[in-house]
Structure 1
Amino acid sequence: MIVQFSNGCGTGFSIVTARYYGSKNENELKKSVAASLILGLIISIVITIVSYVSMPYLLTILKTPKSIYHDSLNYIRCISAFLIITMFYNLGAGMLRAIGDSLRPLIVLFCSSIINIALDIVCITILDMGVFGAAVATVIAQVISTIICFFLILRKAKILIPRKEHFQIKSYMINDLLGQGFSMGFMFSIVSIGTIILQSGINSLGTQIITAHTAARKLISLFCLPLSTLAASMATFVSQNKGAQNYERIIKGVRLSNICGIIYPIFLSILIYFTAENLVHLLSGSNTHAVLQNGAMYLKINIPFFIVLSILLNLRNAIQGFGYKITPLFSSIIELIGKIVFTLFLVPTFKYLGVCFCEPIIWCLMASQLIYSYQKIIKPFKAQNY
């Protein structure tokens, strides 16, 4: 929830920067970068303090088993202590995407994930640091990715580097950045709140299910990187072209991103069908049949629905890039309500199978709402082009 809020703020800030880049207003672009850095610093400090203090209470509310409570607290407090790194990575990657550089942030994110997994193995199995080692691995990977992002900005994207006078921030800029940043931050957080509620249902199923689900979710996060990065790029892509008033290019870009989001999951689903249990074993270190079977089941059910997930992510970010704040937020509310319903009524009945089908069903509902909203938004521009 907390990390996703940081992700959302970074992406939201970059939407404003992208709009000024599209309209070729370099002075306002640099002001937006300067304001984003200041706001990012303030927001990250506040949420670090709040999250670090509140974690014991949140873990209790989540019904975290006593046998893993101490490890859970150490892990999440380590992540919370370095949220400033998370925030500034997202700012750096978002700013690169704002000026049309989508490839480098994707490469950095992919490399960071590989480094994270490698360090997980080193810290946990070789250095015997336990769960805390996983947190350390995550922080180190984020530090590396943040350094690389800002190095790339200094070397390859000097247009993003503000001067002293650009730090004299006006209220209109703060309002614009906070409006977009908080809109996306709350949108991502609402999604994560639903995930937290669902996690409370998963925790009641026992430690073997928790182990299986944790490994499967890590794999899902890795495999979802191309889709999530493509979707994040859509927000800035649409904002850039809105600034340039090139609506035909927006429509073509969204269509192409959806095609990519359909092709990738097809090949990934074939791969997962044959390797799911081995991948769960690799990440969990467990040979327990229940862990491998349940983790593999989650992957085999969810990954084919990446096609739906990709479309909803692309459309949600495209709508955000158009400047609409409430419509994308409404899709997140659908997800929150859906996960509450599953946690209260379906997970107790269908156990982990209910968890596996939870998100695919909700994704279909969200995608339907976003397709309808997107078609309404672009209808006037389609008519113009015709």
Structure 2
Amino acid sequence: MKNDRNMTQGSPYKLIGGFASSLFLGNLFQQLYLFVDSIIVGRKIGPLGLSAIGGTDWLIFLVQGFVIGLIQGFSILLGNAFGEKNERKFATYYKKARTLCIWLSLILVIILFFFTKYLLRLIGTKQEVFDYAYTYVFTIFMGVPLLIFYQLFSSALRSRGNANIPVLIMAVSSISNIILDILFLYVLNIGILGAALGTVLSQFLSMVLCGYFFLTGYKIEIHTANDDKHGIFAKLLCMGFPTAMQSAVTSIGGLMVLSKINSFDISFLTAYTVAIKVYSLLEIGASSLGIAVSTYVSQNYGGNKKSRVREGVRAGLIIGFFVSMMCSLLMYFGGEQIIRLFIDDTRITAEITTYAYNFMRILSYYFYLLFVLYILRASLQGMKVASTPLISSFLQLVMRLLCAYVLTIFIGSRGIFFGEIFAWLFADMLLIFSYIYSIRKMPVEYSGVAEPPIPLK
């Protein structure tokens, strides 16, 4: 396909910057419709509806993050195969990943159908928002298979350096989601169910479009795949499961912190929801860079180009610094104005505004730490190092819990906010040491002019 992008040649800054920009636009559309979704719910239903969504974000991310992490792990192997210019291996990996996705869809739908209500009770969902929360979460969960196959198709495209098609599809999906939200909430007046249905139907559109472009674009390679190879399932799971668990651990930490947040009043929960929505919107700069670096590193690692791997990581960190500074300035100087978008002036309180802005201001001081985390974690995953990113997630979990349950004793609710900062900081320290060790261990590429060097032990 003409949109494939070979990252084993050319300037790392242009390749990563250009690819990340395309990913950023796609992710921006995705987050914008979640952002607008929250604004519509907050203004139409009020703080209770907004709190219901915010109080279930981590539960939804537990499932969706696991799915996205698993398939992101699959895409590392797809990227390695593309970097090796081995189309047969790429096709074989894809077909086996598709089979795993079918089984994953069936298992998750069955589990979530029966246990969603129990999970909401487990995290201490407030009684006054419980009905809203259950309706919203259950509807989203029943659409998980759509997310799974959208992620499979889009990750397969991105592993080949093709970000343009997923971006265009996400733009169409996001616009349709906003239109459906307005239709369901303001015209049909079906409440929070409408917000959830809008999301699910938009995911269906994304899956169909992305699947169409991928399957028609790579039909020949897929049909010539060799299904007789053994161990492909094991390779995919060994790469995908640690990435999935990494997201799951982060989500579990978020859920445990959320249980603590639910012990505060409804104003704090609403403020936390607003701040997290803004944070999630700005986080896409870091996540987009992470995916771009992961694709770049996986292709060059597959091609045994050590110097390019190092140059790419350096380029990602430098680009990340400037992007994070812009995000920090926006949070610090525009935070209060953004907060007021979510709730009608007649319903918002000074307490909500103060809580939310304090959280955003604290995040703005240390936001580059988040970019370092995404870039180094993605680099290690691209080099097939699965254990350290998973351990870093456990470290983040520990720091968030310590701050939520211990630091809050001394400094009150601000301890919740500092949990994010300490989680990033300690994870970064581990990832830095692991990256230095891994890049030194990688063999120097063989140019074909002299005898190949002996790999470092």
Normalization by structure 2: what TM-score? 0.77
Q: What's the secondary structure of 1:85's corresponding residue?
A: helix
Equivalent residue, structure 2, for 1:231: 290
Residue-by-residue CA offset, 1:184-209 (whole Å, 9 max, x unaligned): 11111111111111111111112222
Q: Are residue 281 (structure 1) and residue 371 (structure 2) matched?
A: no
- SS of 2:385's equivalent in the other structure is coil
Q: Name the one with the larger helix percent.
A: 1
Task: State the shift of 1:103 in Å.
Answer: 4.7
Alignment of 1:155-166 (within 5 A): 157-158=217-218, 162-163=222-223, 166=225
Q: CA deviation at 1:115?
A: 5.5
2:270 aligned partner: 211
**Structure 2 match to 1:192:** 251
Secondary structure of 2:161's counterpart equals: coil
CA RMSD after TM alignment: 2.5
**Do the aligned partners of 1:34 and 1:167 also contact (CA within 8 Å) in 2?**
no
Q: Hey, what does 1:19 align to over in structure 2? A: 80
- What SS class does the counterpart of residue 323 from structure 1 fall into? coil
Does 2:309 align with 1:265?
Answer: no
Q: CA deviation at 1:290?
A: 1.8
Residues 10-52 of structure 1 deviation map (CA, whole Å, 9 limit, x = unaligned)? 1011111111111111111111111111111211221222123
Question: Structure 1 regions of 5+ residues with no counterpart?
Answer: none
Q: Secondary structure at the match of 1:282?
A: coil
Partner of 2:363: 302
1:50 is matched with which residue?
111
Cα distance, 1:112–1:227 mapped onto 2, change above 3 Å: farther
- State the 1:109 CA deviation: 4.6
Q: Which residue type is aligned with residue 239 of structure 1?
A: S
1:135-174 correspondence runs (5 A) = 135-154=196-215, 157-158=217-218, 162-163=222-223, 166=225, 168=227, 170-174=229-233
Q: Do the aligned residues in 1 keep the contact of 2:88 with 2:226 (CA within 8 Å)?
A: no
Match of 1:7 in 2: 68
Please give the residue correspondences for 1:80-119 in structure 2 after superposition, counting only pairs within 5 Å.
Answer: 80-106=141-167, 108-109=169-170, 112=173, 116=177, 119=180
Q: How far, CA to CA, are the matches of 2:174 and 2:420 in structure 1?
A: 23
After superposition, the C-alpha distances for 1:57-88 in whole angstroms (9 at most, x for unaligned) are: 22112111110111111111111101111111
Closer, same or farther: CA 15–384 of 1 in aligned 2, 3 Å: closer
**Alignment match, 2:416:** 355
One-letter code aligned to 1:92? F
User: Does structure 1 residue 368 correspond to structure 2 residue 429?
Assistant: yes
Identity %: 28
Q: Quote the offset at 1:284 in angstroms.
A: 4.0
* Per-residue Cα deviation, 1:302-323 (whole angstroms, up to 9, x for no partner): 2443311111111111111111
Aligned residues: 384
Instruction: Give yes or no for contact 1:316–1:370 (8 Å, CA) kept in 2.
Output: yes
208-217 vs 103-112, which deviates more? 103-112
CA contact (8 A) 2:304 2:444 kept: no
Provide the rounded CA distance (Å) in 2 between the counterparts of 1:183 and 1:20. Answer: 20
CA distance in structure 1 between the partners assigned to 2:362 and 2:396 by the alignment: 18
After superposition, the C-alpha distances for 1:104-163 in whole angstroms (9 at most, x for unaligned) are 4356556655665665565445543333333223223323333332243246x4279611
1:33/1:160 contact within 8 Å kept: no
Distance in structure 1 (CA, Å) of the matches to 2:392 and 2:112: 25
**1:197 is aligned with what amino acid?**
M
TM-score between the two structures when normalised by the length of structure 1: 0.91
Matches within 5 A, 1:53-92: 53-92=114-153
Q: Which of 179, 190, 193 is 1:129 aligned to?
A: 190
Q: 1:381 to 1:187 in 2, by over 3 A?
A: same
Gaps of 5+ in 2: 1-61, 447-457
Deviates more, 1:84-93 or 1:63-72: 84-93
Judging changes above 3 Å, is the alpha-carbon distance between structure 1 residues 173 and 382 closer, same or farther for their aligned structure 2 residues?
closer
Distance 1:96 1:196 in 2: 32
